[in-house]
Structure 1
């Protein structure tokens, strides 16, 4: 299919052969010959960057860093895609070039603001398209068109050459039909750009608490605000999730409150600062809804912004502990899939609701990937998103691949060690593992039957006893990957009644871990019912008992 074959305005401009040639000779690289589309708020040298505003006609003097990296990897651009004007919207209808719709239904929105990029991939015009995602603009259209929408960690992919919406939050994203291509594209796009003040280099190793193999996924511990067709699809997605990972319920209220801050609080002022000058004076090419929303930030004061930052910090402190016991958080992408008529009747309200589960991701400095999760009963695509801490992009894509049934390369390991107490992430002895060059390999549980006892000593710690008739669901552990010789260096620090021995995990594998001699424990200190050391400590705090 070509752009001309589409039944909707997915492209603002299709590049001519001369324009493509002007970008330089085709390169040989990992994306050699791959056609791609570019959201029209991202610069392509020699072509205007309209951001869906027709008055912007000056050609870009150079290509955005992201575009240039794709060119250097051998990909070739096809055209610039339609979008919600100035990347302000999640619907795909706020464009003077016309509204896009889902490839599955001419009556339902495509999602925005990366609307044209999603349609171009879903319709088969290109296998890869660049979008942007500040509030969900890459994930919402992915969900509404059955695609993979990768929103990397803020700053991992440079935004130099992107017309800003909210510079501190903007991300360049990819839309693809497979996780494999999203992974390849991210490998090309990621990397520090010293000319971009918002660019951040990825750490040499995964950050503390990020496992190389994600096996535990947090899910909301209560019902969500979902339209009935979405609710049924979400229940089916949860059932599928249980075949991909172990699920743990968490309170997501802090995440959802943080999402409300983006447009319902002072953070809207960043859009006014970024491109408010382009909205004055008014003219027919400006979308009236975009203009009203952004200029509505004028009364916001500096004090309001600082109060908003304080509240966001409080919500971040409440939300992020969800990742202590889980690798990723699973959420639907949107509460529903509105029609174009519903958006026309309430353009602000319907759009605002679409950001319920996406708006907070960049505010909380998370990475995310939207993945297809089947179809609703009415045949419309349904998508979910997996969220993880900053710079967990690689393991998150591996988890997404498992979700989609795509192959995942085995993670090479050195020496594995199962820990259950004071060596867990965030616990007092965890620095011993980090100091030995250890990396968190996976969160897991023991096989059923293990018991956990609180053992005496100056430092509160637990001991595992194997084959003692413990909980069938096992006990929470972390599996750490240590360098050669790491176990030997750790052994002198292991004090009785603990010792190293074989620990069977919930997936049937056996690794060394900390065990306790059954004769060295006090039966009155059996804490197996808590299911893990962290849960035991939390219960003690809740009871008002301080560890001594």
Structure 2
């Protein structure tokens, strides 16, 4: 029985139990047919084509979980190309049918993920509310009277309602974050350029980001790692330069005084205050900072010359098809006609002045913790006042890409009206991984579940743990696992459990003969497509790591172990000669299962 929300852990467990991608596709088809929101998809992949995609994956990679995203269903915002499906940007007259996938979609499909459809959006990704589409307005999964947030409206609702395990959005002003907040989801907003935009229709090309909606931070980070990477075809693509944040003594900047603006929404304000207290309880130092220069930078995105980038993206089409535009979207884009090159340069100068002012605030705080959206609105209210109310939604999001930041939006709980609120952690460029432990901890301590399932427990397998500088990660597979006879060698050396996960599918596990206590041998076999083996990742102090490794007896040693999320970590491997004639226990899925089977017999 699958849970309501399709996270990576539950899907991998389902596949280990014997379900196939075809079974999951049938479940998606059934759930899609039962959905009560007709505005989620612009183009759902037809049922038979979904079945064919699942069968093709099983033919290409027959063993369960043999690829990082094997059989994981996902949805794509309809301003990102997916081969064979029309791209409309929520404008029927603009439709074209690409022959090739966007770079990000291609990478996800290569990792085993299955596209289930193209989702609705605010037309040409212009809006934060989800009502600016001729295909209808996707609704909050908690109350159909309320907006879902935009522009990535349909993408958020697919995940929050359990139709997909993750989805792609885009984010110029907050479109990968606001819908996450309004649907109790995680929104991964990478550093600009970390995910290539090749094959995505631009809104503001210089600051656009492809984003990920996921049930958990761990899922979102794993998916981002599959999708990221430099792409020479995108002139704004960047090579990652990972930056760190303090693990202990982290300073978190929060809003104070007149910069705390919730437009009368006391419930979202209370959720924000509760998130601050949870961050304090997690050991962070809470500091005040001046949001004013960030707010002024945010205003440049729509009130300054950057709106001219939106016109640049669709100028030729607008000249011949103005009547095909949503009236509000057209009004915003046509507002750029009065902008000059002088305005553009003056806007750039002003942004750099504000950036210099924000540097003083970054001296006070390592991370900013902000409300994702200060409030929400009904669809009726939004349609009655589409520009002013939309602008309020972006108060704490619009600056992030202009100032080259990474951000992760997470659920913050529910108000008395049973509507969710969210907070976002933000830090300078390339802190994408460094932000994840804090974001994950804030989500877990909010106890708000995942998507529409408010009671769902966030899987331990997706936990993201901060590792201090000077610690080294190691993969253990046998007697050093939690509860096993040699685990004390790790805990006694000050090691910390980072996560439980699986190897990639190219490993076999054997029982080593005549070892005390019993130990397995992990062998990498290129070309083997297994289901992956359960392992744990621990973090050891660097000096203890060296002493630990010196004690490892032959035929065991340390080498790089590929994990199911596409990363590689140093871990226990075995020399091949030692397992000749040894019992192959790969089919059991890991050492713990073998020990349990052995004790039962």
1:293 paired residue among 326, 332, 335: 332
> Which residue of structure 1 aligns with residue 300 of structure 2?
261
**Does the 8 Å CA contact 1:96/1:286 hold for their aligned counterparts?**
no
Q: Which has the higher contact order (CA 8 A, sep 6+)?
A: 2
Residue aligned with 1:102, SS: coil
2:343 paired residue among 304, 327, 330: 304
Change (3 A) 1:242 1:483: closer
Please state how far the C-alpha of 1:24 moved relative to its aligned partner: 9.9
> Which residue of structure 2 aligns with residue 225 of structure 1?
261
Equivalenced residues, count: 418
> Which residue of structure 1 aligns with residue 145 of structure 2?
107
Residue aligned with 2:221, SS: helix
Is 1:4 aligned to residue 62 of structure 2? no
> Which residue of structure 2 aligns with residue 54 of structure 1?
92
Change (3 A) 1:214 1:341: farther
Name the CA distance, whole Å, in 2 between partners of 1:50 and 1:179: 30
Name the CA distance, whole Å, in 2 between partners of 1:260 and 1:5: 41
How high is the TM-score relative to the length of structure 1?
Answer: 0.73
2:362 paired residue among 323, 329, 337: 323
Is 1:145 aligned to residue 175 of structure 2? no
Name the CA distance, whole Å, in 2 between partners of 1:312 and 1:116: 32
Please state how far the C-alpha of 1:279 moved relative to its aligned partner: 2.3
Name the CA distance, whole Å, in 2 between partners of 1:214 and 1:297: 45
**Does the 8 Å CA contact 1:10/1:119 hold for their aligned counterparts?**
yes
1:355 paired residue among 394, 397, 412: 394
Name the CA distance, whole Å, in 1 between partners of 2:353 and 2:207: 18
Matches within 5 A, 1:54-133: 54-133=92-171
Name the CA distance, whole Å, in 1 between partners of 2:96 and 2:464: 44
**Does the 8 Å CA contact 1:214/1:399 hold for their aligned counterparts?**
no
Matches within 5 A, 1:387-536: 387-405=426-444, 407-409=463-465, 411=467, 413-414=469-470
1:216 paired residue among 251, 271, 276: 251
Please state how far the C-alpha of 1:176 moved relative to its aligned partner: 0.8
Please state how far the C-alpha of 1:92 moved relative to its aligned partner: 0.2
Change (3 A) 1:230 1:22: closer
**Does the 8 Å CA contact 2:322/2:330 hold for their aligned counterparts?**
no
Name the CA distance, whole Å, in 2 between partners of 1:183 and 1:213: 22
Please state how far the C-alpha of 1:277 moved relative to its aligned partner: 2.3
Name the CA distance, whole Å, in 1 between partners of 2:245 and 2:359: 12
Structure 2 unaligned blocks of 5 or more: 1-29, 445-459, 473-539, 544-601
Deviations 1:242-270 (A, max 9, x none): 22222111111111111111001111011
Structure 1 unaligned blocks of 5 or more: 417-480, 485-548
**Does the 8 Å CA contact 1:112/1:137 hold for their aligned counterparts?**
yes
Please state how far the C-alpha of 1:102 moved relative to its aligned partner: 0.7
How high is the TM-score relative to the length of structure 2?
Answer: 0.66
> Which residue of structure 1 aligns with residue 478 of structure 2?
none
Name the CA distance, whole Å, in 2 between partners of 1:156 and 1:23: 29
**Does the 8 Å CA contact 1:158/1:172 hold for their aligned counterparts?**
yes
> Which residue of structure 1 aligns with residue 3 of structure 2?
none
**Does the 8 Å CA contact 2:217/2:464 hold for their aligned counterparts?**
no
**Does the 8 Å CA contact 1:96/1:285 hold for their aligned counterparts?**
no
Residue aligned with 1:186, SS: helix
Residue aligned with 2:211, SS: strand
Please state how far the C-alpha of 1:198 moved relative to its aligned partner: 0.9
